[in-house]
Amino acid sequence: MERRKFVTTAGAGMAGILAAGAAPAFAQGGPEIKWRCASSFPKSLDTIYGAAEVMAKRVASSTGGKFQIQVFAGGEIVPAFGVVDAVQSGTVQCGHTAPYYFWGKEPTFALDTAIPFSLNARQTNAWQIFGGGNELFAEFYKQYKLHRIPCGNTGAQMGGWFRKEIKTLNDLKGLKMRIGGMAGKVMEKLGVVPQLIPGGDIYPALEKGTIDAAEWVGPYDDEKLGFNKIAKYYYYPGWWEGGPQLVTYINTDEWAKLPKEYQSVLEAACAEANTYMLAKYDAQNPEALKRLVAGGTQLRAFSREMMVASYKASLQVYDELGSKSAHFKKIYDSMVKFRTDQLLWFRVAEKGYDDFMHTIQNIK
């Protein structure tokens, strides 16, 4: 309950501090602390990488510069997929990444970003804060010496770029696709050969023909990375990432050494970054999508046949993983139970409203 109260009051409290134009009293007498944060993303992706910068700037401004976090792009200190190891070992005090990159360590990691056909961004926040998700992840991460704070969400993503049209399930057979997290395991059951490649390396792999298709985030980032110059067909929706979350991982020893006030500041800064990322993607994606389509990109929807087959394949994967990992089963079952009521509510209110709004664009 204390955690929930903090989430709802931290933003207002920090806003008041900043409005006063000075560091709060606790920071004036607090210790000077400098941390390094390893990101999994290149600086060119200003929104997904930028969330960590937003977090770091808010920490500094809220402590009068006493608590400094320097963010390093993927590859500057450690490789993009080396963030967890670096935080665990103490090479860096914290990292900003997508947990599903590390599902090879334990499949439960994937649940902390997104798995196929899971929750959207708002539902993810609701489950974590009021459905026990935060507590379940805190318990899980103890064994990895990781303290974790949600720090970003892209919202529902696109289904990716393909060199050829995907008309039937047979078109997926043997297709080499860059796809992250557990989605690759599901796609594998449909005949795809999944490849996990860092964001900055996707373009050359697609250009050279090392892969036949690639998914990343959505129009704003995908346009920046230039995928439309190589692949013509742009599919939606990204059913494997309905509300993919990023987190800040902190070494538990370093977290324990932080003054309680600094811990609160960092939690509030991550909450701000969480809002920032989703808002920026929602603001930037529409114009980017219009530019892509105007430039010749062919927008395509995945067929219902493929969506249903993918859903059935995902259930097989979850049964297999749940039989091997008690951690995965416990958290997955919690998420699915919460999702049932969420889908009912969103169908009544959100979908009802959205469906009508889509029909009135030409009414005058």
Q: Which residues contact 45 (CB under 8 A, 6 or more apart)?
A: 199, 221, 224, 225
Residues 46 and 94: their CA atoms lie apart, in Å, by 19
Report the pLDDT value the prediction gives residue 115, as an integer from 0 to 100: 97
Report the pLDDT value the prediction gives residue 4, as an integer from 0 to 100: 52
Mean pLDDT of the chain, nearest integer: 93
Helix (H, G, I), strand (E, B) or coil at 347: helix
Helix 50-62 vs helix 2-19: angle between axes, to the nearest 10 degrees? 70
Helices marked H in 75-130: 83-89, 108-111, 121-130
Q: HSE of 270 in the Cβ direction (CA atoms, 13 Å)?
A: 25
Q: Confirm if 69 and 79 have CB atoms less than 8 A apart.
A: no
The CATH architecture to which 2-155+243-282 belongs is 3-Layer(aba) Sandwich (3.40)
Report the pLDDT value the prediction gives residue 21, as an integer from 0 to 100: 47
Report the pLDDT value the prediction gives residue 29, as an integer from 0 to 100: 79
Q: Which residues pair with 176 in a beta bridge?
A: 193
Residues 303 and 84: their CA atoms lie apart, in Å, by 37
Helix (H, G, I), strand (E, B) or coil at 243: coil
**DSSP assignment of 19-46, as one string?**
HTTS--HHHHTSPPEEEEEEESS-TTST
Burial letters 315-345, b for 16+ CB under 10 A, else e: eebbeebbeeeebbbbbbebbeebbeebeee
Q: Which residues pair with 251 in a beta bridge?
A: 146
Report the pLDDT value the prediction gives residue 31, as an integer from 0 to 100: 95
* Tokens standing for residue 132: 């026990």
- Overall residue count recorded for the chain in this entry: 364
Report the pLDDT value the prediction gives residue 23, as an integer from 0 to 100: 65
Report the pLDDT value the prediction gives residue 6, as an integer from 0 to 100: 43
Report the pLDDT value the prediction gives residue 15, as an integer from 0 to 100: 47
Enter the pTM of the model. Answer: 0.92
346: how many CB neighbours lie within 10 A of its CB?
A: 16
Residues 124 and 130: their CA atoms lie apart, in Å, by 10
User: What residue ranges of the chain have pLDDT lower than 70?
Assistant: 1-23, 25-27
